[in-house]
Amino acid sequence: MRRIVITGMGAICALGHDAPSVWKAMTEGRSGIGPIHHIQPGQLRNGGIAAEITDYDPANFFDEARRALLDPFSEYALIAANEAIRQSGISFEGEAGTRTAVVIGTGAGGETTRDDLYERLYGEHQGRFHPLGIVRMMMNAPASQVSMVHGITGPSFVVASACASSNHAFAQAAMMIRTGMIDAAVVGGTEACITLGTLRAWEAMRVLAPDTCRPFSKGRRGLVLGEGAAMYVIETLESAQKRGAEIICELVGTGMSSDAGDIAAPSDIGAAAAMNMALRDGGLSPGDVDYVNAHGTGTVANDSTETRAIHRVFGEHAREMVISSTKAMHGHALGAGGAIELVAAIGAIHDGIIPPTINYLEPDPACDLDYVPNVARERKVDAAISNSFAFGGLNAVVAVRRMA
Amino acid sequence: MSTVQQETFDIIAKQAKIELDTIKPESTLKDLGIASLDAIEVIFDIEEHFNINLPNEDTDLDNGTVGQLVEAIERQLAQKTNE
């Protein structure tokens, strides 16, 4: 089987505008959660907090002609993809471009554009829509933009599975490389969901925390939405070695499963099935895994269910490894979640630092593992998995390992 | 039985498709077989019916009783009258 390695990584979220800044903030346990800037306080019922990207001006990243085509969810994807491609040093000239894919996970799509258009239509009763509305808000826009900007002419598409979209995207890209259809992929996830419409819909589900996100902690009250993107260059080991590229780590396996149960309530059996499949696919035994970057949303149901799933998969080893949720720092970026969180798993392997689960108050008996509360910890990590479990019962897990 | 309680029980019975007389003030929504999104829908129906907002603190869907829910509704209605 063809081995797959990661040679480029890019990210933008509430913790920073590039992958090194995001990773540094994670190791410092810094929170990007705060009051929402661009929504008037009285328009939200509950808290009005999110993990927004701050000090951001798209004009610093794109010329005017490009900007006209971009909803923020495409801007973020491009910024992260540009960084990953730059780091990797990969070229898409000639045949290489045809043998490269772009696969991007996203849950919500071009929500800012949609909100603005519908405000004009239903709120202001304006008859005229901007002609670029569709090309900005279509779900596939970020994949199209990355392929256009970089001249990537192989298969490109977007994968949607709500909060598991990124990890499903990694699985699709990895499978295409393994079959020999392509040799490389620009892959990850993006989301720009901090809009009034989206927030009101989430509020109505009663899963948003009014105070902050406290994964696995007693007193947790729900999730906090985030936004951003993370993108990676993955390619065959052979291709990376031939180019003399610096290898960040190996992407060894992916696992996917469906609960086929409740539309919202999580299932420990479904979550465990996805983790087991990722381990099998990656040739890892449970004892090989040193770190789990948890889905860890901060809802009462997710965190206790995920804990039971980890016990199921890892048995006694569950108490020997470490688990953390970085969502308390960058928020729940839905379709971008798995991709942003892979920065944490890769950073742990690379630097031997486990990013903490911040905002942790005290243990909850239903969450009885080592979640690295509040302070980062030094620990050698050779293999890690990153969990994503979506509403709708769709689960996807990615396994990465130090390059041996 | 107060009108508020009567109307609340009607909403719960309709949503859960259960007989009205199975609902007691000491029942939790869970006891009545209303979990997950169904419980959130009950709260939504109540908010729409009475035109109030029930904060998350007043809607403990796991352990809160229907009687406590009625009290929370009455509190919100009283607050609305005072405004």
Window B:41-80, CB contacts with A under 8 Å? 43-44, 53, 55-56, 59, 61-62
Best residue of A45, A202, A205, A206 to probe chain B, by most B CBs closer than 10 Å: A206
Q: Hey, is the C-beta of B82 within 8 angstroms of any chain A C-beta?
A: no
Q: Is A366 helix (H, G, I), strand (E, B) or coil?
A: coil
> Which DSSP string corresponds to A378-395?
E---SEEEEEEEETTTEE
Distance separating alpha carbons of residues B11 and B31, to the nearest angstrom:
16
Long-range residue pairs from A127-131, CB within 8 A, at least 24 positions apart, any chain: none
The β-bridge relationship of strands A4-13 and A228-236 is: antiparallel
The β-bridge relationship of strands A383-390 and A291-293 is: parallel
Out of A163, A213, A249, A367, which one is annotated catalytic? A163
Window B:6-45, CB contacts with A under 8 Å? 35-37, 40, 43-44
Cα–Cα distances in Å, from A332 out to A11, A105, A243?
Answer: 15, 14, 36
Do A144 and A287 lie in one domain? The reply is no
Under an 8 A CB cutoff, do B40 and A262 touch? Answer: no
According to DSSP, the residues that pair with A322 across neighbouring strands are A291
Do A188 and A277 lie in one domain? The reply is no
The β-bridge relationship of strands A291-293 and A34-35 is: unpaired
Instruction: Please tell me the CATH superfamily of domain B3-82, with its number.
Output: ACP-like (1.10.1200.10)
Q: At what angle do helices A165-179 and A337-351 cross, to 10 degrees?
A: 70
CA distance B23 to chain A (A): 24
Global confidence as pTM: 0.95
On average, the pLDDT of chain B sits at 90
User: Distance from first CA to last CA of chain B, Å, rounded?
Assistant: 26
A-to-B residue pairs, Cβ atoms closer than 8 angstroms: 24
Do A192 and A290 lie in one domain? The reply is no
Check if A130 is active-site: no
Examine the fold and report which residue of A215, A243, A271 is the final residue of a domain before the chain moves on.
A243
Residues of chain A with a CB closer than 8 angstroms to some CB in chain B? 45-46, 204-206, 210, 221-222, 262-265, 300
Do A150 and A41 lie in one domain? The reply is yes
Residue A398: closest CA among A11, A19, A105: A105
Examine the fold and report which residue of A243, A277, A307 is the final residue of a domain before the chain moves on.
A243
pLDDT value of residue B56: 82
Helix then strand then coil, % of chain B, to nearest 5: 65, 0, 35
Under an 8 A CB cutoff, do B35 and A205 touch? Answer: no
CA distance A45 to chain B (A): 8
CA distance B47 to chain A (A): 11
Do A148 and A257 lie in one domain? The reply is no
Under an 8 A CB cutoff, do B56 and A262 touch? Answer: no
What is chain A's pLDDT, residue by residue, as a tens digit (404 residues)? 899 999 999 999 999 999 999 999 999 999 999 999 888 878 888 778 999 999 999 999 999 999 999 999 999 999 999 999 999 999 999 999 999 999 999 999 999 999 999 999 999 998 788 899 999 999 999 999 999 999 999 999 999 999 999 999 999 999 999 999 999 999 999 999 999 999 999 999 999 999 999 999 999 999 999 999 999 999 999 999 999 999 999 999 999 999 999 999 999 999 999 999 999 999 999 999 999 999 999 999 999 999 999 999 999 999 999 999 999 999 999 999 999 999 999 999 999 999 999 999 999 999 999 999 999 999 999 999 999 999 999 999 999 999 98
Distance separating alpha carbons of residues A326 and A307, to the nearest angstrom:
16
Place of tokens 């599975």: A161
Residue A88: closest CA among A320, A248, A265, A264: A248
**Count: domains in chain A:** 2
Distance separating alpha carbons of residues A309 and A366, to the nearest angstrom:
12
Do A232 and A194 lie in one domain? The reply is yes
Out of A150, A168, A295, A330, which one is annotated catalytic? A295
- The average pLDDT across B36-56 equals 91
According to DSSP, the residues that pair with A363 across neighbouring strands are A217
Q: Is A19 helix (H, G, I), strand (E, B) or coil?
A: helix
Best residue of B37, B52, B58, B61 to probe chain A, by most A CBs closer than 10 Å: B37
H helix runs in A186-293, sequence order: 196-204, 237-243, 268-281
Number of other residues whose CB lies within 10 A of the CB of residue B33? 11
Best residue of B56, B63, B76 to probe chain A, by most A CBs closer than 10 Å: B56
Do A221 and A255 lie in one domain? The reply is no
Q: Is B77 left (phi over 0), alpha (psi -120 to 50) or beta?
A: alpha
| Tally of CA atoms within 13 A in the half-sphere of A71 that contains its CB | 34
Under an 8 A CB cutoff, do A204 and B40 touch? Answer: yes
Place of tokens 């499903």: A168
Do A24 and A87 lie in one domain? The reply is yes
Under an 8 A CB cutoff, do B59 and A221 touch? Answer: no
Do A232 and A317 lie in one domain? The reply is no
Residue range B58-83, pLDDT digits in tens? 787 778 899 999 999 999 999 988 87
Do A121 and A265 lie in one domain? The reply is no
Residues A103 and A173 sit within 8 Å (Cβ to Cβ): yes
Taking the alpha carbons of A157, A160, A163, A165 in that order, is the dihedral positive or negative? negative
Question: What range does the domain containing A94 cover?
Answer: 4-243
pLDDT value of residue B55: 86
Under an 8 A CB cutoff, do B37 and A264 touch? Answer: yes
Residues A388 and A167 sit within 8 Å (Cβ to Cβ): yes
For the domain that residue A309 is a member of, what is the CATH number? Answer: 3.40.47.10
- What is the identity of the amino acid at A230? A
Check if A317 is active-site: no
Residue A121: both structure tokens together: 């239509």
pLDDT value of residue A287: 98
H helix runs in A50-109, sequence order: 64-67, 72-88, 95-98
Do A215 and A299 lie in one domain? The reply is no
Q: What angle do CA A246, A167, A151 make, to 5 degrees?
A: 55
Q: Is A206 left (phi over 0), alpha (psi -120 to 50) or beta?
A: left
Under an 8 A CB cutoff, do B36 and A206 touch? Answer: no
pLDDT value of residue A31: 97
Under an 8 A CB cutoff, do B53 and A205 touch? Answer: no
Do A194 and A85 lie in one domain? The reply is yes
CA distance B59 to chain A (A): 9
Under an 8 A CB cutoff, do A46 and B56 touch? Answer: yes
Chain A residue numbers with beta carbons less than 8 Å from the beta carbon of B36 are 262, 264-265
